[in-house]
A = this chain, B = another copy of it.
């Protein structure tokens, strides 16, 4: 039986490669690939203004490798966690619906 947390990590990897393989270096996201991934796969995260964007293309090579992508996702998850904690502290017990419309 698949375990949700392990599945979640596999989704992070497979989503990255689904987009990175489209053009150029198949193991890195170009700016166009990154934009499409964020638009289609992370619409709840408003990219372009958040501090998490600082994790994308840290080495300034105009591409995003998996390490940069994983650190970016960790940052986004921290934002989800803050949302959960805020809700939980205001309205215990904790029954927050995540902003992604999912409560696994």
Contacts and interface: CB of A to CB of B under 8 A. Distances in A.
Given A67-B78, A70-B74, A77-B12, A84 B17 contact: yes
Interface in A66-90: 66-67, 70-71, 73-78, 80-81, 84-85, 88
A60 interface: no
Interface residues of A, number: 46
A7 interface: yes
Given A5-B41, A100-B6, A85 B27 contact: yes
Nearest to A1: B101
Contact of A21 (B21, B70, B94): B94
A85 to B, nearest CB: 6
Given A94-B17, A94-B21, A104-B14, A76 B2 contact: no
Query: Which 10 A-B residue pairs are closest in the complex by CB-CB distance?
Result: A6-B100, A8-B8, A70-B74, A8-B11, A5-B41, A74-B74, A10-B98, A66-B81, A9-B77, A10-B102
